[in-house]
Amino acid sequence: MNKEYYGKLIFELSREGRSGAAIPDAGCPDAQIPAALARVHTPELPQADEPTVVRHYTNMSANNFGVDTGFYPLGSCTMKYNPKINEEMCSLPAMASLHPHAPAETTQGALEAYWTLQRALSEIGGMAEFTLNPFSGAHGELTGLMVIRAYHDSWGDHARTKVIVPDSAHGTNPASAAVAGLKVVEVKSLPDGTVDADALEAMLDDSVAAVMMTNPNTAGIFESNVARITDMVHRAGALMYYDGANLNPMLGIARPGDMGFDVMHINLHKTFSTPHGGGGPGSGPVGVRDGLEKFLPNPRVVKNSDGTFGITASGEALGSISATLGNFAVQLRALSYILSLGKEGLAEAGLLATLNANYIKESLRDLYKLPIDRVCKHEFVFDGLADKNSGVTTLDIAKRLLDYGFHAPTIYFPLLFHESLMIEPTETESKETLDCFIKAMRDIAREAAENPEVVKTAPHTTPVSRPDDTAAALNPTVTWKELKNSAG
Amino acid sequence: MNHRYFPHTPADIAEMLERCGAATPGDLYADVPEQLRLAGEYDLPTSMTEKEVRDYFNRLASANRQLTCFAGGGFYHRYTPAAVPALMSRSEFLTSYTPYQPEISQGTLQYIFEYQSMMAELTGLDVSNASMYDGTTATAEAMMMAVAATRKRNTVLISGSVAPAVRNVAATYARYHGIDLQEIESDNGVTSLDDLKQKLSSGKVAGVILPQPNYFGIIEDLTGFADAIHQAGALMIMNCIASDLAVLRSPGEWGADIAAGDAQSLGMPLSYGGPYLGFLCCTKALIRKMPGRIVGATKDAGGNRTFVLTLQAREQHIRRDKATSNICSNQGLMALHTAIYLSLLGTEGLKEVCTAGANGAHYLADKLTRTGKMRLKYPDRPFLNEFAMSCDFDVDCMLKVCTAHDILGGIKLDNHSILIAVTEMQTIEELDRLAEIVATSNFA
């Protein structure tokens, strides 16, 4: 492709008088908008014909990396293959054309899909019921914490204002707690990455509303103490929240409900293969144990005694967190995936994800610093290179991997180590892909020792090189108009 | 045989296990205590072939009924040009992660930059974030943003003419976040300026949320609102229907500080409620208070124009509980939808969409009035493509009869009033048919 032309913004390709769409018109007489209420300045949207638009966005896509392009060893993100059949099933016209206010009698198929997925997730989570309404994992966390507050409020216990979160938690945990009006207290991890249960026990009192945990945690370690922890948290009158970001390796092995968790969310865009779409749309269904269903947000989907499906709302619910039943098309993809894998495929997915992660870990532990030397689950963390003399950082390694045709791992997270480099391969990567990645990581370690400059200045083969983030933040230029003006 | 999504052969597994020092994959789970383990298998079906999956979904799809849609309420049946889904299905876009690695994510970053530019144009405001979940949550985020931006003020006012779904979600967020959300009274279908002024006089108001058009389809005359709100030291937030901004006076032109709402109206499939897209735009002065991702332009080491996620110090992965919001994703793919849709239509195309809907709505309102059984609920208020009608009959009966005719007749407001929307999708025959059904049925 011609970079000079196709590297432009659609605004720069705009020419007065072009259009790329023909709008249907029933031919009704003209209605007038009162002049005082009408737009004064015409918005400057691009003017472009269809071929120009198609070529522009197609060429832009070539500057992107996706799961279909290559391997994402991205820790805590579960970048598994997104099956093609799911895309077709979610865009069937008889599903995609339904208005959210259509009467339930005309949307029975859609409601059955919602209900069936809700039941499947309840089985997988070991929970009594799920809502699929939350739009993302973070939205699910917020919804789950609202459920917990509604539960405490329901018997007049308003003093529980704190949430305890491990220092290894995803950043959304404390942020969601803050949005839900709760105060965040951190509990330290032990050197092996697991929660310090004794420290946690000392923090428990009647001001604690909930404890949030990820299991396996963000270091990829299964919290074997979880039963003891849920016990002592329940004895203190608080509830246990399960962050489902790392659910994938537990498929078919153990269920959060059986571990003693009361409320959980699942990221359909992680464990259940719905595409990340460059940042969304996601979906973060929330499950609750028996007795907490009534606090789930409105609206809810129910199966009636006559086998039909309906939509209900309850006064005891925490309220509503969406106008609709959530990102329906994402839910359909996840249902298609669960049916495609079946119970045996789901169980196999977890095992293979864990096998892939341990295989990479064992293949690189001589060259990269392994701060927690244990069997991991779906992911694990290196603390940079074993040999730190070259000054090559985790950021440099991540950028150099781009030259080798791989996405970077998650870097500088969890916050337990200075040079965290967190690797999660998922079950859909072949041994050949993993071997190729392992070779690249070994080559980079060698380059760091022999020719560190090539790593420190990477990447060298990508559409652009390292950007100036400082300049971007100092003088934010976030629209075409600003960019045009700043160029003088 | 392996499952079609898993590449592992038995030989691969054996070799990999050996390197891990394990005999079976199950050995890698020795740290999961026995009493926590799932006994047996999930109570779920066994694996389906692709054909079985297809048959299953076709059965579900056939249990839905396709209706000619006169329902709106913030969500509209619009035409989606074929190029939009075709480009969105490019798997380089579809299967990519959040663009944290800008060197291999310029595609995503550039379309978000284009999206931001377009939304800033439409709202008449300086800046836009990279998008949010939907219109209800974007408005709730705008509410929290106003509280954070004005410090020490904890009251937000929301007009009673804002869509109930938006008010409900804002109320949920407000209750848990500890914001005092109060409703401004309506006067003949629109926000009461008198009641607003009276409520502003408390001196505690951080922000005021006003609709455009409002839930009843009315284009509100907001003359004098911005002055009153700003004199009271509060921020003006407008909850808008994105498509209508092509022809209506924009939030920027009304003097708003923040605009938030749903962009479903920009040709997104109704899809039974999602995914849609929430937009959030504001003045440049407020950019550092914005929730969500923002893409900015900069240069790379070689001096090339490059796009990056910027101002990340506001966000949860850096600031944790001190972040401006807990939001961690945007509606990336729906931002791509928006950018492609608006590129194809341009301002003129979007105006035509608005005009076609408005013309059809006025035609239908007139026809329905002529039946003698219905009349505009707010006859002296201007509307665009959606309007409220008072009816002599029971609305539930009317909707039932319509459903029997494969028509979604509108959204019930109360037993004797209904909200009806028209877009470019209905033919004149379909408009006539709805009027005909009303004229000839007794709805009893």
CATH of the domain at B417: 3.90.1150.10
Q: What is the mean pLDDT of residues B34-62?
A: 97
Longest dimension (CA), chain A: 78
CA nearest B353 in A: which residue? Answer: A23
- Per-residue pLDDT of chain A (488 residues), as tens digits, is 667 777 899 999 999 999 999 999 999 999 999 999 999 999 999 999 999 999 999 999 999 999 999 999 999 999 999 999 999 999 999 999 999 999 999 999 999 999 999 999 999 999 999 999 999 999 999 999 999 999 999 999 999 999 999 998 888 999 999 999 999 999 999 998 899 999 999 999 999 999 999 999 999 999 999 999 999 999 999 999 999 999 999 999 999 999 999 999 999 999 999 999 999 999 999 999 999 999 999 999 999 999 999 999 999 999 999 999 999 999 999 999 999 999 999 999 999 999 999 999 999 999 999 999 999 999 999 999 999 999 999 999 999 999 999 999 999 998 889 999 999 999 999 999 999 999 999 999 999 999 999 999 999 999 999 999 999 999 999 999 999 998 75
User: Do residues A219 and A381 lie in contact, with contact meaning Cβ atoms separated by under 8 Å?
Assistant: yes
**B21 within some domain:** no
Per domain, the residue ranges of chain A are 84-340
pLDDT at residue B316 is higher than 80: no
Domain end call among B340, B356, B381: B340
- Give me B63's structure tokens: 């249990």
Residue B172 near chain A (CB below 8 Å): yes
pLDDT of residue B409: 98
Does B119 lie in the same domain as B249?
yes
What are the residues facing A129 on neighbouring strands? Answer: A288
Q: Among B48, B294, B427, whose Cβ lies nearest the Cβ of A26?
A: B427
Residue from A99, A112, A243 to probe the interface with B (highest B Cβ count within 10 Å): A99
Does B250 lie in the same domain as B186?
yes
Average pLDDT, chain B: 96
Does B164 lie in the same domain as B123?
yes
CA nearest B307 in A: which residue? Answer: A467
CA angle in degrees (0–180, nearest 5) for A450-B301-B126: 145
Whole-angstrom CA distances from A132 to A117, A297, A326, A329, A384 are 8, 10, 6, 11, 39
Dist CA B155 CA B209 (whole Å): 11
pLDDT of residue A6: 73
Q: Determine which helix (DSSP H) or strand (DSSP E) holds B156, and give its type and residue range.
A: strand B155-159
- Give me B145's structure tokens: 């943003």
Residue A33: list chain B partners with CB under 8 A.
Answer: 219, 247-248, 358, 382, 384
What are B239-286's pLDDT values in tens digits?
999 999 999 999 999 999 999 999 999 999 999 999 999 999 999 999
**B40 within some domain:** no
Does B147 lie in the same domain as B282?
yes
Pairing of strands A420-423, A410-411: antiparallel
Contact B270 A99 (CB under 8 A): yes
Q: Which amino acid is at A245?
A: A
**B27 within some domain:** no
Residue B173 near chain A (CB below 8 Å): yes
**B9 within some domain:** no
Q: Determine which helix (DSSP H) or strand (DSSP E) holds A256, and give its type and residue range.
A: helix A256-259
User: Do residues A208 and A214 lie in contact, with contact meaning Cβ atoms separated by under 8 Å?
Assistant: no
Does B290 lie in the same domain as B353?
no
Distance from CA of B107 to the nearest CA of A (A): 5
Dist CA B268 CA B274 (whole Å): 9
Q: List the alpha helices (DSSP H) in B99-212.
A: 106-123, 135-150, 164-177, 193-200
Give the domain extent around B372.
68-78+346-440
Counted domains in chain B = 2
CA nearest B400 in A: which residue? Answer: A103
**How many Cβ atoms sit within 10 Å of the Cβ of residue A231?**
13
Q: Is A235 helix (H, G, I), strand (E, B) or coil?
A: helix
Q: What is the mean pLDDT of residues B416-423?
A: 98
Considering only CA atoms, which of B160, B135, B148 is closest in space to residue B239?
Answer: B135
Dist CA B187 CA B45 (whole Å): 56
Whether the upstream peptide bond of residue A43 has omega within 30° of 0, thus cis, is no
**B57 within some domain:** no
Considering only CA atoms, which of A442, A361, A372 is closest in space to residue B19?
Answer: A361
pLDDT of residue B151: 81
pLDDT of residue B36: 96
CATH 3.40.640.10 fits A84-340, yes or no: yes
User: Do residues A276 and A79 lie in contact, with contact meaning Cβ atoms separated by under 8 Å?
Assistant: yes
Contact B116 A428 (CB under 8 A): no
Does B303 lie in the same domain as B249?
yes
Whether the upstream peptide bond of residue A281 has omega within 30° of 0, thus cis, is yes
Domain end call among B286, B315, B340: B340
Instruction: Give B 367-426 residues with CB within 8 A of chain A.
Output: 382, 384, 399, 403, 408, 411, 424-426
pLDDT of residue A1: 63
Does B355 lie in the same domain as B326?
no
Phi-psi region of B37 (alpha: psi -120 to 50; beta: other; left: phi over 0): beta
Dist CA B53 CA A86 (whole Å): 9
Q: For chain B, how many residues are written?
A: 444
Does B319 lie in the same domain as B204?
yes
Does B380 lie in the same domain as B335?
no
pLDDT of residue B325: 83
Does B72 lie in the same domain as B92?
no
Q: Among A60, A254, A280, whose Cβ lies nearest the Cβ of B329?
A: A280
Instruction: Give B 182-201 residues with CB within 8 A of chain A.
Output: none
Please state which of the ranges A169-178, A347-356, B8-17, B343-352 shows the lowest mean pLDDT.
A169-178
What are the residues facing A385 on neighbouring strands? Answer: A368
Does B400 lie in the same domain as B353?
yes
Does B197 lie in the same domain as B314?
yes
Distance from CA of A204 to the nearest CA of B (A): 20
pLDDT of residue B315: 74
CATH of the domain at B190: 3.40.640.10
CA angle in degrees (0–180, nearest 5) for A104-A105-A111: 50
